[in-house]
Structure formats: C-alpha cells, structure tokens
Chains A and B, each alone.
Chain A
Amino acid sequence: MTYEFLQNYWWVLIALLGGLLVALMFVQGANLHLGNRALNDTQKRMVLNSTGRKWELTFTTLVTFGGAFFASFPLFYSTSFGGAYWVWVLLLLSFVFQAVAYEFQHKKGNLLGVKGFRVALMANGLLAPFLVGTAVGTFFTGSDFTVNKVAITDPSAPVISTWGNNWHGLEALGQYHAVLLGVTLMFLAAILGALYILNNVDDETIRAQMRRSIKMSIGPFLVAFLFWTAILFARQGYAVTPDQVVYLEPFKYWHNLLAMPVVLVMLLSGVVLLLYSLYLGAFSKSLKGIWFAMPGTVLVVMSVFFLAGFNGTAYYPSCTDLQSSLTLDNSCSSFFTLKVMACVSLLIPFVVAYIAYAWRAMDRKKITEEEISSGENKY
C-alpha cells in the first residue's frame, strides 16, 4: 500500500460515509410531515415513531463522518470547522434539538410542549440537508481562507488556518452555486423521507400524503439538481499539478468526469436509480421506492465527492489564496495513521451487517395505527 493509495482509499470512505449520511437523511425529510395538516395527531405520531427508530443511525453516521474526516484529513477539520464556524454551529444546534426531541416530545413537563419539539424536528428537517448541501457546495465554489503552518511559531497570531472574513461560513449563503446544492439536498431529503414512510408505515391516508409529497418535490428537486450539475460542469475548477501547485482550470469538473469513466457510470446509474424510485413513489402502487432511492443517493453523492477530490483536484479550495487549497495529499494524516485506520475500516462490513440484522428484526412488522395507539414503548 502506497501513501497515495491510502489517501484515495480514505477519500472513498469519506465519500461513502457522506453518501450514507445523505441517504439516511430520510429521517429529516420524513419529519417535515409532522407539520402536515392533512395528517391527524395519531398519524403524525406514526411518522414520528417510524423515524424515531432510525434517527440515531443518521446521527451516528454524522458523528462518524466527522470523526473519520478528522482522522484522515485533519487539516480539513481544523480549517473548515474553525473557519466556517457559524455553519457548523447552526448544523450542530439543529441536531442537538433533534436528539432530545423524540424522547421529550410526549412526556409531561417538557416545557416546550409537543408543538415546540415538532417545530425543532421540522427545523432540523430543513436545515440539516440544506446546510450539509451548502457546505459540500463550497467544495466547488471555494472558500475564503488561508493556511500558513509557520504561523504556529508566531506567538502573536499562532493559528495555522485563518478565515478571511467575519461571516465565518455564512458568506456561502451568497454563493448561488453552493446554495443550489443545499436546496437540492433539502428536496432530496423530503423525497427520501416520503419514500421511507411509504414503506415503513401501514396507513392509507399517510401513504396518499407521501405520494402527494413526492409529486410536489420532484419538480424543484430536478430543477435544482440539473442547474447545479450544469453549472458544475461549466465552471472552472481547482486543479493540482503532481508537485502540488494549485491552478484554475476551465471545465475542470467536466474533464474529471470524462477522465474517470467509473465516476460517470456511478453518477448515471445513481441518477437512474433515483429517477426510478421517483416513478415508483409517485406514479405506481409500489412501496419499494426507498430501496432504489437510497443506493441511488449513495452513488450520486459518492461521485460528487470523487469529482471534487480525484484526478488532481483540490477538494476544499481557497479562493483567497489558491496555494492554501486543501488537497488529498496536503491535508491528510500520516502514512502510518492512514494504515491503522484502513485496518479499522475492515470492521465496517461487520457493523453494516449487524445494523441490517437489527433493522430487519425491528421492521418485520410495519408500523400501524394500533401499535401507536396502544403500545407502551413508543415516542
């Protein structure tokens, strides 16, 4: 195993975790229906209890995504988290409220009431995919930061990674290309959520609402996604020479796609799977759309990460100082640490296997009105 191989291997894992995170954001999307007026309270609780059995998976994937990024590409962690401060703090707050909202929502004495916690869950449903999407969007637009490792020897200003403005990440909201990816993810999460509930909850009214919701989301999702993709392939990108000099190259991401046929195939098959799931969810009686949408999402997200980081590309570019841009090579952990982590990653299939086993055991029976009205162990 060479150092370069391990850097690439870890980028694949980061991409996979990113893909799984977005796919698991069906939890966020489904929770938007807690504000759906066509559903009565019992039906809303069915939705709540359905996502309530899965939210920790999404949450843990987020934590692991952060931990894995920290372990494999620590310069990204220190630069982006410390720099785009407000974006990460906002994301954090939305997840923190989500984490307690399930357990507290229907308990007496919870101070915020059922409504308060439902609002928190819906806010998380919109904000989490939007902020994650916008943050990943800046992988292509670039951000305003500099990296200077000698700074640590200067007691008056010792910080290596410094952000160029006081908006600390909120300025990304002014970059329409990054925001478009945020919007895309928001509608994707809504679609995934509806597809998941369609499959997991046995109730005709709810199912009708889910199909309706999918139909309403298809348009905005496709428009945002197509625009984002078109702009991506038309824009100039941040290329890196083999000796680590960063320069701007027109149509860089388009070139990347053509240079990496595997990514092209992944992207196209992901899109096909997603489109098929949309058809199943909106225009057929099938309940199985989610089983196509999730792998489709993983494939598309992974190919987006591959376009950002592979084929001589700076995945976290600085638009202030090109040479400060982060590449797989200049931001990663040491050879040895990546090796250790690669060994640890061999446990991932085992983890996925027991999650799948537990999931199947728990979902053998769909959630019904009877279970939610009479069961003891519920949110």
Chain B
Amino acid sequence: MDVVIWSRIQFAMTAAYHWLFVPLTLGLALVMAVMETLYVVKKDEFWKKTAQFWIKLFAINFAVGIATGIILEFEFGTNWSNYSWFVGDMFGAPLAIEGILAFFMEATFFAVMFFGWNKVSPKFHLASTWLTGIGATISAYWILVANGWMQNPVGTTFNPDTVRSEMASAAAFWEVITNPVAVSKFCHSVTSGWVTGGIFVVGVSAWYLLKRRHVEFARKSMLVGAIVGLVGSGAVMLSGDSSGVHAAEFQPMKLAAAEGLEDGGNGAAFTIVPGIKIPHMLSLLATHDWNGYVPGINDILNGYTDNEGHVIPSVAEKMEMGRKALDALAVYRSTEDPAVRADALEVLNANVQYMGYGHLEKAEDVVPPVGVVFWAFRLMIGLGMLIALVLLLVLIAIWKDKLGAWKWLLWAAIVCIPLVYICGQSGWVVAEVGRQPWTIQGLLPVNVAISSLSAGAVKTTFFIFLAVFALFLAIEIRILVRAIGKGPEVEPENI
C-alpha cells in the first residue's frame, strides 16, 4: 500500500479514536452542569455528591480526549503537508480561534472544577463546570467550521500567485463561519454528544438499579440523563434532516452512495434495506419536494440537470477542464512573459472551478466505497432511533414508577452504551468516507493533499499510534469500570 492509503488510515484511526472521547465529554458536561446547578439552587448535598461522581468519570474520559486532539492538529501538518498549505489561509484561522477561545477556557476551568471544591465559592465552582462544557462546545463549533468547509468550500477563491485557496473579504469569512454544512454538522455532532452522555448516565444508573445499589442516586441521575439524552435525540434528528438536504445540494455523490442509488430521477424512493423501498421518500428528504430530482451515481458520472435547471457536466468533462486549469497554472507560474501569463490566467479562471478534477486518473475515482457508506448510514439511523426509543421508555418508566419492574429496559439501557458509540462512529464514516476521494470537495483529492513521506515512515507511526491508542483505551475502560464499580459516595438505599 502506498503513502496515500497509510496517511488516510492513520488519520481515520486518530479521528475515530478521538471521537470515542469527545461525545461523552460534550454530553457528560451538560449532565453534570445540570446536577451541580440543582445543588447550588436547592442547596442539597445529595446533588453535590451526585455531580461529583459524574465529574470523576468525566475527568477520566477528558484526559484521553485532550491527548488525541493534539495528534489530529499535528497530523494536518505532518501527514497532509500540501493540504496544510492549500487550505492554511482558511483552515488555520478556525483552529487558532479554537485554541484562543475554547481550549484555554476548557483547560482553566477544568482545573477549577476538578480541584476547586474547597478552594473557590460554590457559585464560582458552578460557573467553572458550565464553562468547561461551554469551552468544549465552542471548540466543537470551530473545528466543525473547518470540517464543514472541507465538505462545502464556500467563501474562498484560488489565488494562482500563492497556489492556494484564500479568503478575501469579511463577507467571505462570514460565509465560512455560517456555512450551512458547518452549522448543521455542529448541531448534529454536539447533540449526538448529549445522546451519548445521556445514555451513558442512564446505562450506568441502570446497572446500579439492577444491582440494587445507590438506588436514589441512580434514579435521579437516570432522570437527568434521560432528559438530556432525549432532547439530544430530537435535535439529532432535526439536524440530521438538514444534513441530508445539504448533502443533496453540495455533495450529491455522498448522498447517492449513502442510498446506493445507481440511477436517480424525480420522485426517488428511499431504500430502508435492499429490496424495501418507500416511494418518493428520498426526494422528499433530500429536496423537501415530493417529486424533486435526486441524481444517482451514474447521473453524476455522466452529467445531469439539477432542480434549479443548472446543467452539471459529466466527470470526464470536469476532468478535462481541470487539466486545462492545472496546465494553465503551470504555464502561469513558469514564465515571466506578461502576455503568456495573461492568456494562461484566462484559461485558468475559466476552468478553475474544476481544478481538483484535473488530478483524478479516471472518472470512477469520484465514486466512494458505496457498500461502506450505504451500511454505515443505515447503522447510524437504526441505532439512533433505537436509542431514542430506549430513552423515551426510560422516561415513561420513571414517570409510571416501573423501573423496578421493567428489568429488560434496564438491560437495554446498558446495551445502548456500546451501541451509541457504534452509532456515532457510523455517522462519521458516512460523512468522511462518503466524500472520498476529496480532502476538500471538488478542490483537492486525497492523493494530492499528502506530505512527501515514504509509506514506511507513515506505516511505522501508524502502528506506534495504534499501540498507544489500544493501551490508553484498555486503561481508560479498566479505570472507568472500577470507578463505576466503586460507585458514588452517597448513602446507599434500597428500592
């Protein structure tokens, strides 16, 4: 395998691993902040002890999230050197803003939250707990602005003098930070974190109830967890809907792959699993129009006319225009003759929209691995709905006082803990595998985004990181399980 593949595998592994820790951070932060607020408002020590227990678990999880976050930041440079230059003008800004605005907030107030119980006033402590979570959420926003731009590169233009995409005006910057893809991605990711945190709290509490330990603690934690999780589930569904519309608009190939749609058309059907289809549903979801046109893989390869009447050229035509742009760029950069440069610039500007396609070898390269994206999409939706259902039932059980009777529900809640992670990972597989071969949609394919390294070097670091990640995950799970086994320091009661 070559350096492109190894670079991709290494980055995918780091990102997937990082996403094991981030959603729980986002979700638990909200749960424990709510609990501590109850303590400060009600002045009830019970809520203090309850919040402290979940903060303890939060801290164990938080450390690995930080450790893996810095690897991602560095890997943009170490493994994606061309990418770093090509997008640095746009991409670096959100990353730096994330550091200045979010990371310092998280780092500073996490320390106060963790060590400060007897050092600062309860209100200052409560503010610190909220600020830790708010910092994490702001951080998610800025990194998803960067990711959203890679899916839908708005607000930048290619500058042949610097050979990169650049932002040129306040309006462009505004476009970047309000990119609809970034906004719905942010809502989708953060609220999926709430679901993760919610179901984690519900599942752990369910285990205590099954063991008849810390019953009061478990019931009340469960209520907070279920509410946070269910609110999250609702928001995930809403933002998921707009993610679908955006995919149809900006990344039709991703949508076609996610649906396994070879040939599209008007009033396209939604495939639940192969063989079971709901007529018109895909058009409705993707275009919010019963008869909207949704292109399939072949339509995109061969060219089509979209819902606004724009004629979209075939991939072969785009590749031809892309090559013209690249050739013109090479001429523009290698001569001093003003007349030749002016001509080259004209050709470049006429074709620059498809410059990324000039790097492709064959038209089929624009098709991502359909099977992977198709099934990941179904896994995400299926598990997401299952988890929402379990959360709803838990709330009903609490309301009807059936927690003791519905043991199967407690078991289901525990099973949902690993499932919510599979669900979140599947979502990212759809988002990231679905946009292959592009690092930046339409502008820069992965094979041109890399660093000039040997496959052996990247392979070596891949296995080093793999070993480190496996070790940390094993330690993290062992410590979490022990901490849960030990339980909170509140008075045990019986049902």
Contact = CB atoms under 8 A, between A and B. Distances in A.
A111 B163 contact: no
A109 B475 contact: yes
Interface string A343-379: 0110110010011001001101100000000011110
Please report whether the interface of chain A is mostly helix, strand, loop or mixed according to DSSP: helix
B73 interface: yes
Count chain A CB atoms within 10 A of each CB in B80, B93, B168, B461 and give the residue with the most: B93
B96 interface: yes
Interface string B144-165: 0000000000000001001110
Interface residues of B, number: 95
B206 to A, nearest CB: 23
B363 interface: no
Nearest to A157: B452
A3 interface: no
Contacts of B482: 107-109
A358 B66 CA distance: 20
B77 A82 contact: yes
A177 interface: no
A96 B167 contact: no
B210 interface: no
Contact of B451 (A66, A154, A159, A334): A159
B172 interface: yes
B89 A333 contact: yes
A159 B81 contact: yes
B70 A53 contact: no
Contact of B70 (A71, A85, A95, A345): A95
Given A107-B482, A355-B104, A83 B92 contact: no
Contact of B88 (A77, A155, A157, A162): A77
B342 interface: no
A59 B108 CA distance: 11
Interface in B349-374: 359, 361
Contact of B63 (A104, A150, A161, A364): A104
A64 B88 contact: no
B327 A64 contact: no
Contact of B96 (A155, A163, A341, A378): A341
Please report whether the interface of chain B is mostly helix, strand, loop or mixed according to DSSP: helix
B421 interface: no
A74 B329 contact: no
A271 interface: no
B116 A75 contact: no
A95 B66 CA distance: 10
B242 to A, nearest CB: 27
B370 to A, nearest CB: 25
B333 A334 contact: no
A99 B476 CA distance: 13
Given A82-B452, A355-B108, A347 B101 contact: yes
Contacts of A351: 100-101, 104-105
Nearest to A66: B73
Interface stretch (B22-30, B117-125, B290-298, B424-432): B117-125
Interface string B83-125: 1111011111101111111011111111110111111100010
B84 A81 contact: yes
Contact of B60 (A59, A96, A103): A103
A358 B120 CA distance: 9
Contact of B475 (A81, A104, A362): A104
Given A64-B99, A104-B63, A158-B359, A70 B88 contact: yes
A362 B112 contact: yes
A57 interface: yes
B84 A82 contact: yes
A174 to B, nearest CB: 19
Interface stretch (B32-40, B387-395, B464-472): B464-472
B59 interface: yes
Contact of A377 (B103, B114, B159, B457): B114
A149 interface: yes
Given A149-B333, A358-B112, A361-B112, A77 B159 contact: no
A54 to B, nearest CB: 8
A336 B169 contact: yes
A219 interface: no
A59 B168 contact: no
A323 to B, nearest CB: 14
Contacts of B59: 103
27 contacts: A56-B110, A63-B73, A67-B98, A70-B95, A74-B88, A78-B83, A78-B451, A81-B76, A85-B457, A99-B64, A99-B70, A100-B475, A103-B62, A104-B60, A109-B475, A109-B481, A157-B452, A333-B89, A337-B92, A337-B166, A344-B96, A348-B100, A351-B101, A355-B104, A361-B116, A362-B116, A365-B119
Interface of A: 53-54, 56-57, 59-60, 62-64, 66-68, 70-72, 74-75, 77-83, 85-86, 88-89, 92-93, 95-97, 99-100, 102-104, 107-112, 149-150, 152-155, 157-163, 166, 168, 333-334, 336-337, 340-341, 344-345, 347-348, 351, 354-355, 358, 361-362, 364-365, 375-378
The 6 closest A-B pairs by CB, nearest first: A74-B88, A81-B77, A82-B81, A71-B92, A64-B99, A82-B451
